[in-house]
Structure 1
């Protein structure tokens, strides 16, 4: 593959990434982390500076996005959240589904 074709390929990929993340349930825009709390062995929550996007959960406290700290993925997300809360960096969030308290579930984080 010559350099011109490679360059065009990379440009197309980089142009499609924002659309893919928005369409895939990602927040699409960077979010600040305003609060993090742990309620129980299997309940941790993060509050973003703005609610990433409308969701199907109807709880009045839907600003709290649930993380399960008992899973390896949850532990990784908590580490990321704490690091970025301290550093003031922003993240992009993937939210999907509701927990048993009708709060949105945080399914993924992307570093900006």
Structure 2
């Protein structure tokens, strides 16, 4: 079996696992950020809307966060740090490297994309 065929085959077979592990990783990052979002409200015993599919609940959550940001500069810093940390974690996870001792025909490493790609 040619090296590129082997690489393509193993990556195809591993893709469902990688997608699931990526989802789990993203869920963990989201959970960490959610804990930061709700922390001041839990301390104040304020119920935090969790159904962001509902426009009313999403707007209510936005208003709660906006008010807290105005009153609490430490909360703003905590949210900012959580977003930066989450972005770093997701960016480091999303990089894929292929290492192979054999000859690789083509390798593409795309860090970000703002348009269409044709090959």
Question: Quick check: TM above 0.5?
Answer: no
* Bigger relative contact order (CA 8 A; separation at least 6): 2
Larger Rg: 2
Counting helix residues as a fraction of each chain, which structure ranks higher? 2
Counting strand residues as a fraction of each chain, which structure ranks higher? 1
